[in-house]
Structure formats: structure tokens, C-alpha cells
Amino acid sequence: MVVTEPSAPYNFGAFPSDGKVSLTWEAPLDDGNAEIQNYEVKYRIYPSGQLTKFTTDQLSTEITGLQNGKVYEFRISAFNTAYQGDSVYVRTAPTTATVTQPSTPTGIKDIYEDEDGKHLLRWSEPSDGNAEIQYTTIEYKLQGESEWTWLVNDADGSESYALARLSADGQWNGLAEGVYDLRLSSFNGIQSPYATHTVTIIDQS
């Protein structure tokens, strides 16, 4: 079996508190056909502070000695027996404020944009619970089915996602034609309640 690069760690989150940030994550969904050996963690004051890095074989770590109110960027990547995979990042600021659960994402709507050939999902960022919203998770299932499938962790903080799109060669990529239930949850170190939405995808190829 050919060993390849692992995918990025999954569900990467940062929990800020007074002068420190706790990081948690899950192992990559794709290990590249080899056991994950360890993880490289990098962090700096965003955007141009001095970079610090270390490795760990655990799925969590706590970084102390940070400055309250300064935004830090944290990146993590996985190593298998042969390769280092892509990194994923979150940004947050240590704070003396009590971090609470963010509210549910609101204003969810979907629209097909003919000029770009995209079926977009849009939403409004919820109240942040005294900590920056790090990402919004989108999950989906076909109506009538019971199992939810993870679609995306939106780590860059945007408030839209292309559920499907028409490629330059006329192929329909993303969710196939059908009626889907979606659920969205935002994360500031604590996961928000789910917001739900139903979308009908029509193949435009």
C-alpha cells in the first residue's frame, strides 16, 4: 500500500482563558495509509509575531505565558511514518472574560448564482460568547436518512460556502442532486447549538 500525506487534523479548536489557550483536535480523517506518529503545533501573535513550534503525540495541549487581548494564530499538522500533512489553523485571544457558548448561526439561506455556477449557502455569524468565532461546521444528510456527514469546518471565518458548483468543463461537483437537511454549528472554543436548514440541489450540468 502506497503511503501518502495525511489530511489535516479534524475539529481543531482553541479554548482561551487568562494568559493561556488550550488546544484540542482529532486525528486526520485520512492517515495516508500509515499510522499517525505525532503532531506539529505552531503559534505566534497574528499576523507577524515570532513563530514558536513543538511536537506532541497527544490530541490536546495547553500553551501558557500568552498576552491577554493579543490575537494568536495556532496551526497544527500531522506526521505519519513518511510525510507531514497539511496544516489547519485557528485564531483567538487569551482573555480574563468568561467565555460562554456562542449563539446559533442565524439568517441561513441558499441560492444558485448563475454567473458563477455555484449553489451557495450563506449565514450570519452568531454572538461570540466573549471569544472569536473560529469556524462554523456544516453537516448534511439526504432527507429520509439518519446519518449525518461532515462537510466542512470553515476555519477562515467566512459566512458562505459553495455546496456545489459547475466546473469549467461542465461537470457538477459537490453535493449531488437531491433534497438535503443541513445543520450548522459555530465554535469559539465551545460549540454552539445547531441551526438547521433544508436545501434542494439541482444538477446544472
- Residue 63 included in any domain: yes
Assess whether 87 and 111 both reside in one domain.
no
Assess whether 82 and 128 both reside in one domain.
no
Assess whether 115 and 189 both reside in one domain.
yes
Assess whether 70 and 118 both reside in one domain.
no
- Residue 72 included in any domain: yes
pLDDT of residue 34: 96
> How far is it, in rounded angstroms, from Cα 174 to Cα 165?
6
> How far is it, in rounded angstroms, from Cα 78 to Cα 10?
10
pLDDT of residue 50: 95
Assess whether 157 and 129 both reside in one domain.
yes
Host domain of residue 74: 10-92
Kindly give the parts of the chain with pLDDT less than 50. 155
Question: What CATH number did the domain enclosing 147 receive?
Answer: 2.60.40.10
- Residue 100 included in any domain: no
Contact residues for 177 (Cβ-Cβ < 8 A; gap 6+):
201, 202, 203
Assess whether 84 and 110 both reside in one domain.
no
Assess whether 72 and 29 both reside in one domain.
yes
Assess whether 63 and 121 both reside in one domain.
no
CB 110 within 8 A of CB 199: yes
Contact residues for 101 (Cβ-Cβ < 8 A; gap 6+):
129, 190, 191, 192, 193
Final residue of a domain: which of 63, 92, 121? 92
One-character DSSP codes across 139-203: EEEETT----EEEEE-TT--SEEEEEEE-TTS-EEESPSEEEEEEEEEESSSBPPPEEEEEEE--
Name the nearest CA neighbour of 94 among 80, 111, 75, 74.
74
Task: Please give the helix or strand (H or E) that residue 10 lies within, else none.
Answer: strand 10-17
pLDDT of residue 143: 94
Q: Domain tally for the chain?
A: 2
- Residue 36 included in any domain: yes
pLDDT of residue 148: 92
